[in-house]
Amino acid sequence: MRMLIVDDEVKLLRALEQTFGELHYAVDTAKDGERGLELAQAGGYDVLVIDVMLPRMTGYQIVESLRTSGDSTPILLLTAKDAVDDRVQGLDSGADDYLVKPFAMKELTARVRALTRRTGDVMGTKTQVVGPFELDLVSRTVTHHGALLALTAKEFQLFEMFLRNPGQVLPKELILDRIWGFEGPEDTNAVEIYVHFLRKKIDARRTAGERTERASYIETVRGVGYVLRV
C-alpha cells in the first residue's frame, strides 16, 4: 500500500512516516503544497494524507487540482480548524474524509484503513449493471447511460453499496459501519452529507424523462436510512 503524506510540521511528518512504515505502508512525504501536488500527480498512491495549511499551496487547492484532473485517489485532510464551514469546505473540495488536529494516531490509522478498504470481491464479477448505472470494480468507476460519474473514493464506496443492494433499505448505522468502520466519522451527519453529494452528481446527469419519473434515485426512508430505486 503506497501513501503520500503532505505536512509542514516536521516532527509530525516524521512520526506519521514511522507509524505507517511500521504498518507496512510505502510512505512518501512532502513539506509544502507544490511538492505535494507534484508527487500526487505522478500517481501510483493508494491514499493521500494532506494538511490544510501548507506553504505555497493549501491542502484545499491540492485536492481541487487533483479532482479537476480526474484523480480519484482517496484523500484525508488534516486540519487545525474544527468549524463546520471548514469541514464542509474540505469535503466540497473533493476530500473523502478529514481529521481535526490534535488527533490520536490510532484514529488516523483507522480512518486511512477505512478509506483504502476494498469493497467487493475482486475475484468475482468485475462489472454490475443496475438500471442506467454500470459499476466497474476494476477501474472503481460508475457510469450513467455510459457517461462517467466523477465520484470521490468515499462517494464510490457509498454508491457501490447502493448498487449492490438495489431496492433494499440500508439503515444509516449499517452504512456507517460498512463505509467508515467501527470508529465511525467525527461528523455524525456524514451519511446525509455524502448522500447529498451523490444525489447532486447523479441529478446533474439525469435525462428529462428520468426527472419526470422520480425525484431522486436515492430515496430517504425517514427514521431508517436510504434505498436505491431504479
pLDDT > 80? residue 45? yes
The three three-digit cell numbers of residue 55, written as one number: 506553504
CATH number of 127-228: 1.10.10.10
How many C-alpha atoms does 178 have within 13 Å on its Cβ side? 18
Domain ranges within the chain, ordered by starting residue: 2-116, 127-228
Cα–Cα distance list, 34 to 46, 92, 208 (Å) = 20, 21, 42
pLDDT > 90? residue 35? yes
Cα–Cα distance list, 203 to 45, 86, 184 (Å) = 30, 26, 28
Q: What is the pLDDT averaged over residues 102-109? A: 91
Q: Which range, of 89-98, 167-176, 179-188, 207-216, averages the lowest pLDDT?
A: 179-188
Residue range 158-170, pLDDT digits in tens: 998 898 888 888 8
Fold of 2-116: Rossmann fold (3.40.50)
pLDDT > 80? residue 16? yes
Residue range 68-101, pLDDT digits in tens: 887 888 899 998 776 566 667 767 778 888 888 8
- pLDDT mean across residues, the chain: 84
